Chain A
Amino acid sequence: MKRRMLLTSVAVGMALSSSCYSLIADSLTGVSLAEWLAAFVLAFGVVLVVAGAIAELASRFPGAIGVRTILAGTLGPRVGLFASYLYLLVIPAVASVESYCLVRLIDAVGLGISGGHAVALVFVTLLAVNCLGYALSLRAQFVMTVLLVVASLGVSSGPASPVAARAVLEHGTRLGSVASTSIIVIFLFMGFEWVTASGRRKEEYRRDMPLAMFVALGVLAVVYLAFAWSYWLLRPGVPASALLAYCVGRFGSLGRWLALTIGSFAAASTLNAGLLGGARMLYVLAREGALPSVLSRVWVRRGTPVVALASLCLVSGIAAYVGTITGAALELAVLAAVVECCVYALLLLAAFKNRQHGAAEGFRSRLPRGSFAVVAALLVAICVLVLGDQVKVIRGVTFAGLLAISLTLLKLPRAGRIRASA
Chain B
Amino acid sequence: MQNLQQTLERFRSRVNEDLRVKSLIRNWRRMIVVKADDTGEVFTLRVDAGAITRVEPGDHGEDELILLSGDEQLIRGVFAGERNPAKEYLDGALTVLGDEADKMKLDAISVVLWGEIP
Chain A complexes with chain B: yes
Interface of B is mostly: helix
Question: Contacts of B96 on A, CB cut-off 8 Å?
Answer: 63
Asked if A201 and B97 make an inter-chain contact with CB atoms under 8 angstroms apart, the answer reads: yes
CB-CB under 8 A for A300 and B24, given A284-B90, A293-B116, A421-B91: yes
CB distance from A6 to the nearest CB of B (A): 12
CB distance from A367 to the nearest CB of B (A): 23
CB distance from A85 to the nearest CB of B (A): 14
Pick the residue among B91, B98, B100, B118 that contacts A69 (CB under 8 A). Answer: B91
Query: Size of chain A's interface in residues, with CB distance under 8 A?
Result: 42
A263 within 8 A of partner (CB): no
Nearest A residue to B87 by beta-carbon distance? A288
Pick the residue among A72, A201, A277, A284 that contacts B67 (CB under 8 A). Answer: A201
A369 within 8 A of partner (CB): no
Nearest A residue to B116 by beta-carbon distance? A293
Pick the residue among B23, B90, B100, B105 that contacts A197 (CB under 8 A). Answer: B100
B49 within 8 A of partner (CB): no
CB-CB under 8 A for A199 and B92, given A288-B86, A288-B87: no
A287 within 8 A of partner (CB): yes
Give complex CA distance A326, B67 in Å: 46
Asked if A303 and B84 make an inter-chain contact with CB atoms under 8 angstroms apart, the answer reads: no
CB distance from B105 to the nearest CB of A (A): 4
Asked if B90 and A68 make an inter-chain contact with CB atoms under 8 angstroms apart, the answer reads: yes
Give complex CA distance A300, B107 in Å: 11
What 1/0 flags go to A71-111 for Cβ under 8 Å of B? 01100000000000000000000000000000000000000
Pick the residue among B23, B67, B116 that contacts A300 (CB under 8 A). Answer: B23
Give complex CA distance A61, B87 in Å: 14
A304 within 8 A of partner (CB): yes
A422 within 8 A of partner (CB): yes
CB distance from A372 to the nearest CB of B (A): 20
Give complex CA distance A300, B20 in Å: 7
A144 within 8 A of partner (CB): no
Give complex CA distance A65, B109 in Å: 19
B89 within 8 A of partner (CB): yes
Nearest A residue to B110 by beta-carbon distance? A287
B36 within 8 A of partner (CB): no
Pick the residue among A63, A285, A304 that contacts B97 (CB under 8 A). Answer: A63
Question: Contacts of B69 on A, CB cut-off 8 Å?
Answer: 202
Other than A73-B92, A300-B20, A418-B87, give 12 A-B pairs with Cβ distance below 8 A: A61-B95, A63-B103, A64-B95, A69-B90, A135-B99, A200-B98, A280-B100, A283-B104, A284-B107, A287-B84, A293-B116, A301-B23
